[in-house]
Amino acid sequence: MSLLPSPSWVDHLKTTKWLGASSLVCVTACLFVTQALAQSLPADLEKAWRATRLPESSVSLVVQEIDGPRLVSINASQPRNPASVMKMVTTWTALAGLGPEYTWRTTFFAKGGGQVDAQGSLAGPLYLKAGGDPLLTVEDLWGLLRGLRQRGIKNLTEVVVDRSRFGRVAINPGEFDGAADRPYNASPDAMMVGLGAVRLLFQPDRQASKWIPIVDPPLPGVRINGDIKWSNVACPGSPSIATQVAPSGRDIVINVSGTAAGSCGEFSVYRLALSQPEYFSGLFQMLWKELGGTLGKGIREGKVAAGVEPVVWHESASLANVIRQINKQSNNVMARTLFLTLGAERMGAGATPQTGASAALAVLNSQKVDTRGWVLDNGAGLSREGRVTADGLAGMLDAAWHSPLMPEFVSSLAISGVDGTVRRRLRDDETKGMAHLKTGTLRDVRALAGYVLGASGKRYILVSIVNDDRSVSVRAFDDALVAWLAAR
């Protein structure tokens, strides 16, 4: 039962002379529910909850001893935005639905398996079947192209990229929050390389007291403009600089500004300067030229032709390893790509976020997880529409714990005070290393979920989700909750 006062009671207050202003009603109601929730918590947590000054209506909380009683349950069936905690849903359903040894394959095809003439010219187009690899690196692509050169292929007429594993999944990187150049907003793509981001490397020239900017990889038409001012102060921490990406004729200019202390040494920032297809095209042509190859007509999108044979291919790291990167570092575009991969494998090629959601829900329903009220829209949690319930998420974590795949899933989560997104939290002796957690942070959203090991050897499932414009204040309470469980 909710501890909030009934709407009629609040309306009555507003119409009486007890209070002089509607704002006082709001404060009184907020204090009432905050105190009520605190009274339903263990005594050790009452003070921490009261300090948040959050209303009970903003929080969903479940604490469950594994194979034991439920210790806390507040608004457990209320659908809420979990922010990046949604990545737990994507990684678990992919792990359960595809298996820990699942890999992605990126393959070049050509007529006759790569027939060339005496000059190394390939007969017909070179086809590239994109596999949707979430973590294909620049080095991986270089290795593929080097493999082509080792087989005598030097001169290409054209390259045809087949992205049909996914449907039309490109997004506007600036749509979510207007920060179109930030890597966390990167669009998914079946032929994504290096997450689609360029590195802006700043090297110190100590004699001249200036910063030397470098674009890595040095894609044609992408350049840096502006100046980072040199400072002689002691290094205050990671430099913070401003960037703005803008087209300039046929080029892309990344305007930079700010100040950095020379004592900090070389530093880098990552930015989105091109769309995923443009990034891949520029990178392919740059690397192919460096390897001594030529390209006539260029790169276009299409389907792999019938009758061609594989020439070289790249096999990715296993899914069990990929989900560690997604969960520990909370990588959005990798999570989106994994979500689409699950859709492609379970629902067929041309995967979309909708087929990814259908596939994920099918996996959860087979495990009897209660997904009523859930909205799975992109698999990453970078969304205002995504929803889960604390009760359903706790049920999923319980199903994962009792699965043979439990070690792979738990090891993908950040370890309290050690690594990932909680490396700087929960570092006291009592909590460091005692929890495997996933965090979620958006404007008006704070979430924390995972597993905590108690001093007694018992394990606990924890799910905390707050949706409120003051949600940031729940952090100290969540940390206190983990500490309380670790001490049990």
Name the phi and psi angles at 458, rounded to 5: -75, 150
Task: Look at strands 210-216 and 126-129 and give their pairing.
Answer: unpaired
CATH architecture, domain 105-171+276-315: 3-Layer(bba) Sandwich (3.50)
Does the domain at 43-100+319-486 match CATH 3.40.710.10? Answer given as yes
In the predicted structure, residue 398 carries a pLDDT above the cut 70: yes
Q: In DSSP terms, which residues pair with 117 in a beta bridge?
A: none
Read off the pTM. 0.91
pLDDT (0 to 100) of residue 42:
80
In the predicted structure, residue 6 carries a pLDDT above the cut 90: no
pLDDT tens digits for range 271-311: 999 999 999 999 999 999 999 999 999 999 999 999 999 99
* Average pLDDT estimate for 364-383: 98
pLDDT tens digits for range 328-359: 999 999 999 999 999 999 999 999 999 999 99
* Average pLDDT estimate for 256-272: 96
Please report, for the chain, the start and end positions of each structural domain, with discontinuous segments joined by +.
1-40, 43-100+319-486, 105-171+276-315, 198-271
pLDDT tens digits for range 104-114: 999 999 999 99
Percentage with pLDDT > 90 across the chain: 90
pLDDT (0 to 100) of residue 38:
53
In the predicted structure, residue 12 carries a pLDDT above the cut 50: no
What is the pLDDT of the chain when averaged over all its residues? 92
pLDDT (0 to 100) of residue 14:
36
pLDDT tens digits for range 303-325: 999 999 999 999 999 999 999 99
